[in-house]
Amino acid sequence: MSEVEVASEVEEALHHPEIEKQELPYPREIYAWYVVGVLVIAYTFSFIDRQILSLLVEPMKRDLVISDTQMSLLQGFAFAIFYSIMGLPIGRMVDRTKRVRIISIGIIVWSLMTAACGLARNYWQLFTFRMGVGVGEAALTPSAYSMITDYFHPKRLGFALGIYGTGVYIGAGLALVIGAEVIRFISQGGYTALPLIGEVYSWQVVFFAVGLPGILVGLWVLTIKEPARRGHVRQEIDADGVSKAVEVPVREVLAYMWANRGTVIPLNLCYALSAMMAYGVSAWIPSFFIRTHGWTAAQAGHSYGLIIVVFGTLGVITGGWLGDFLTARGFRNGRMIVVAFTGLVAMPFTLAYPLVSDPTIALWLLAPSTFFATFTTGSGPAALQELMPNQMRGFASAVMIFVVTIVGLGLGPTSIALVTDYVYGDEQMLRYSLVVVPTVVLTLATLLGFWALRNYNRSLDYIADWAIQNEK
């Protein structure tokens, strides 16, 4: 065994002491990957339902007579407010109850709410149903992060979470591709008559097409096995001399996170700002190609959708794998290194594509921009899971998602719309908004990432000390 491999084993023993004493073996790897596959499909459906609006901007603006800012509120705030708020109590449920059941109920709720958008008769009804989508989707990711961490050995965690994260980009890409096909059908506007429902705007048919199949996915999730909890679990000896896990009060979870605030706060904000750039850009790129380069919605959906599916998926897998690779090579903060450098590497490509005059070149620049920008999706959650005891992971993930949703989804699309509407005052200036906002956001994300990087090893020492005091 090489010195590097010895160092890696010592590192795992120090920071993952549960590996040595875990009585229950990890589940069969083939089944663990099957579970990840099911969760990826669920995550894919969630992002199809979430992102489909980005290709429907122009027909929805036309039929509902609304502004870019109002449209951005449907894309961001209406969804984000309940997604983030409901995530916190759901995160506590994740740490205490069966996660499979939580995920299944959430999928069914968001699928029904997405389909309900096809019944909306005005802007505010749509706004309400988008809130309902947010409530349902709040159940998935905290539960999935917690389950995957229990299914996989720590040395594979980043890669496994990276594979799960591909659902974001597969779903967002398919939303554009599927939507593009429907747009071909509804491009003339007007109404479509549906059996039992009657007349709806033609674009509302999309919501039925992407929402209703998700109900079957929710039922499928009920068939997967709930994994045993592992990884720094607080235990005590009962009257019979048997060791059992005990609940960690929420005040102690908050105290733990506060004690590690020098890592947790900038990590959450760095991840959220990276998401703000990604959500903002993805919401407006179809409109950018339509307004700046004269493309049809179908052209924009197909082209950008394929870039998201291919390069977004490759990026999130690579980011998760790279964090694992650096950690295995002796960099204790390897996953945080990936998070910190992501914005810096993605920035040149992200700022260049809106300014070129050739749409083909813009697409080629979007490919590396998407690839590098998605590194945080695999490595960021893995970095947080690594810092938290098992019975705190669901709540900590919910807090991260809360921050990511409020900052990323809540402000991302709207920040670009506000610059377009109120700084430039011309929707044809969208291309410059796509330069200004990412410049500011990625710079801040990079600075915060390096702040967290400075404190990350200290937090790894903290969890090791916590384990000694609580795993008796």
**Quick check: 26 and 32 in contact, CB under 8 A?**
yes
CA distance 407 to 109: 24
Stretch 188-194: mean pLDDT: 62
How far is Cα 109 from Cα 408, in angstroms, rounded to an integer?
23
Q: Which tokens is 204 given?
A: 């509302």
Residue matched to tokens 């980009």: 169
- Please state, in angstroms and rounded to a whole number, the distance separating the CA atoms of residues 331 and 205: 50
Task: Sketch the domain layout of the chain as residue ranges.
Answer: 27-224+246-470
Mean pLDDT of 31-59: 85
Quick one: average pLDDT of 62-73? Answer: 80
Reduced to 3 states, what is the DSSP secondary structure of residue 316?
Answer: helix
Most confident listed range (193-207, 270-284, 415-429, 443-457): 443-457
Q: What percent of the chain has pLDDT over 70?
A: 86
pLDDT category at 196 given cuts 50, 70, 90 is low
Q: Once rounded to an integer, what is the mean pLDDT over residues 246-275?
A: 89
pLDDT reported for residue 356: 94
pLDDT band at 55 (very low <50, low <70, confident <90, very high): low
Quickly state the pLDDT bin for 99 (edges 50, 70, 90): very high
pTM above 0.75, yes or no: no
Kindly tell me the sign of the dihedral angle through the C-alpha atoms of 142, 148, 154, 157: negative
CATH number given to 27-224+246-470? 1.20.1250.20
Work out the average pLDDT over 124-135. 86
d(CA 119, CA 110): 15
What pLDDT, on the 0 to 100 scale, is given for residue 1? 43
pLDDT at 6: 38
pLDDT at 191: 64
DSSP string, 140-203: HHHHHHHHHHHHS-GGGHHHHHHHHHHHHHHHHHHHHHHHHHHHHHHTT-SEEEETTTEEEEGG
Q: Does position 355 have pLDDT exceeding 90, yes or no?
A: yes
For residue 225, count other CB atoms closer than 10 A to its CB: 12
Angle at 73 between CA 67 and CA 76, to 5 degrees: 140
pLDDT of residue 452: 95
Phi-psi category of residue 210: left, alpha or beta, with phi > 0 → left and psi -120 to 50 → alpha: alpha
Q: What is the DSSP string of 245-300?
A: E-PPPHHHHHHHHHHTHHHHHHHHHHHHHHHHHHHHHHHHHHHHHHHHH---HHHH
Place of tokens 């961490």: 149
Up-side HSE of residue 188: CA atoms within 13 Å toward CB?
3
Q: How many CB atoms lie within 10 A of CB 127?
A: 17
Average pLDDT on 132-160 reads 87
| Cβ(291)–Cβ(430) below 8 Å | yes
* Per-residue DSSP letter, 228: P
Tens digit of pLDDT for each residue in 143-153? 998 899 889 88
Residue that is written with structure tokens 């706060």 in the block: 265
What's the CA gap between 183 and 333, in Å, rounded?
A: 46
C-alpha to C-alpha distance for 293 and 374, rounded to whole angstroms: 26
User: Mind giving me the DSSP string for 19-83?
Assistant: HHH--SPPPPHHHHHHHHHHHHHHHHHHHHHHHGGGGSHHHHHHHHT--HHHHHHHHTHHHHHHH
Phi-psi region of 407 (alpha: psi -120 to 50; beta: other; left: phi over 0): alpha
Arithmetic mean of pLDDT over the chain: 83
- Separation of alpha carbons 45 and 115, rounded Å: 13
C-alpha distance across the termini of the chain, in Å: 32
DSSP single-letter state for residue 225: P
Hey, is 456 helix, strand or coil?
helix
